[in-house]
Amino acid sequence: MAEDWYIDLSSGKSEAYVALRQGVRALMAGEPNRTANLANVTAAIQATFSWHWVGFYLVDETRDELVLGPFQGPVACTRLQRGKGVCAAAWTSQATVNVPDVEAFPGHVACSSLTRSELVVPVVVDGIVVAVLDIDSRQEADFDADDEAGMAGLVQEVENLWHSWS
């Protein structure tokens, strides 16, 4: 299935997200390894939308920071501090953060000078943020309500399986 990954965007983003969610669900079915599943989720998103950067940051409770997880795109920041940047804002608020212009976001952490807009969706398991899905675009205001809802649905698939992974 993975080598044939293709989702047609001509019918619109809402339909693409339905197909993406179904495809991601199939990719994760029966796979018990968290890293493998998160890597395939990021690859599926990147293959579908071709954004600048797509990846997960995982909560490191011992250091109270986010640490880089599976991703697609250029080299990224390895660790992000609580209280600084878009990822930290989603982590702290336990809510999706859509930033149309990263230069206007107070405390934005610039892992890439090419990023112009950012969408971050927290992965919440048992009421606790365990990771965030971070998506960067080279275009300002590139994410809309369809992207927020679509990514929330994908993250829900991850949340549903989190405890079954090693």
CA dihedral 28, 53, 56, 134 (to 10 degrees): -110
Q: How far apart are CA 144 and CA 97, in angstroms?
A: 11
Specify the DSSP element, H or E, that contains 159. helix 145-161
Delineate the domains of the chain, giving CATH numbers in brackets.
2-164 (3.30.450.40)
* Structure confidence at residue 3 (pLDDT): 60
CA distance to 12, 20, 82, 109, per residue, from 146 (Å): 10, 13, 28, 25
- Residue 7 CA from chain centroid, whole number: 18
What does the pLDDT profile of the chain (166 residues) look like in tens digits?
A: 456 788 888 888 999 999 999 999 999 999 999 999 999 999 999 999 999 999 999 999 999 999 999 999 999 999 999 999 999 999 999 999 999 999 999 888 888 888 999 999 999 999 999 999 999 999 999 999 999 999 999 999 999 999 999 8
Residue listed under structure tokens 């997880």: 69
Q: How far apart are CA 73 and CA 42, in angstroms?
A: 10
- Residue 127 CA from chain centroid, whole number: 18
